[in-house]
Structure 1
Amino acid sequence: MRSTVQVAARRLREAGSALYEAARQTHAARLAIVAARLRSGTPLVAILVAATLIACLSLAWSAGRGVHGALLPASPTGIGATIAGLIAGVAVLELAAAFAVTLMTAGLRLAYDTGRHRVLALLVIASVLALLGTGWRLWETGPAALAGAALPVLGTAGLVMLTAWFERAYLRPAYPGFRDFWVDVVDARHFLMRSAHGE
């Protein structure tokens, strides 16, 4: 009896370890790892990566809830609708996270090719457009729908903060936190490539 329990416990541990390793290989987990590893060196970038992950989780939750709500009337027990919702949510989370990692890689490549002054100009333009778009949305949104505008507002605030931090960190040598732009871009590209291969 004891040997049977030990075998079952060992198999459960092995299954748990396999699920954990599989979860670590997902793009969502890699975003979380990137945010955790960057929190001490570049905390603002880590916060933005974490915000990107939260946005991916929000999309996944919305997709999963939509699928669950659509299939619930046809599911007598609700189990099938719940499973379908979970599968849809996980699939959307992974696709959104993979897209985010691809965008980050492309952004770093663009930064390397264009240089810090042009990157700052692009960030300023993006911040202005985001502020205008968010302001227009808030103007058109009724009080009952303000909760739905929280994510765009947070995203716009993060972009403005990133622009201000970038200008100080890479274009003001007198700033105490002044950094080498090219070194940071190369290091970030290598870090993302290692993360993409699960290292």
Structure 2
Amino acid sequence: MDKAWCREAGTKTYVETGHLLRRLRAVELEITQHMPPDRHRRLQTRETLGLKELRDAALLCHGLAERRGEKIGVTHWENHDHDAVARIQKSGENQFFPLQLKQLPPDDINAKVTLQKIIDLLPSKYPKSPLLTVGISLNRDTRISFDKLNIPSMNIGGLFFFGAVKPDQSEWLLWGDALSHGAHATIFKYPD
């Protein structure tokens, strides 16, 4: 990203992921009380898309924060090739990372989409985005053998997968970086 992008990223308001997820849980509970259909409860409507993207960005970054032992802030900022931006503070300096969020949707929304199809489209969608981290939300009740996925060569900063491990969404899995040889899983708790 160029200096102008970094300057603009520095003007955004970032919220630490644990704090943000706790606040979002309260909002989700309020929304879903008034929206009985399952699609609404999963934040799968036009009205809740921004909230879902912010939540997914916070979940991805919270998993990364737990893995690295760092605090990561996140902001929802849609641009031509990202949905959100993460901020990490190291030695008093801010480092910004654009985030692109994808989703493996529930079967009842689109059963034809496969995780491999999503992955296969990434190199052509983001041909020169070396700082971009792509996070794919696993929003489907399924088991995934990550070692059986075909991860093509691509010019992005990182590729991670995340999804709830328990039906009550109290535990989550983060797997990646799929572009490195050290890809592994981290289990983390949704903040109380």
TM over 0.5: no
- Tell me which of the two structures has the higher relative contact order, counting C-alpha pairs closer than 8 angstroms and 6 or more residues apart: 1
**Structure with the larger strand share:** 2
Q: Return the TM-score normalized by structure 1.
A: 0.26
User: Which protein has the larger Cα radius of gyration, Structure 1 or Structure 2?
Assistant: 1
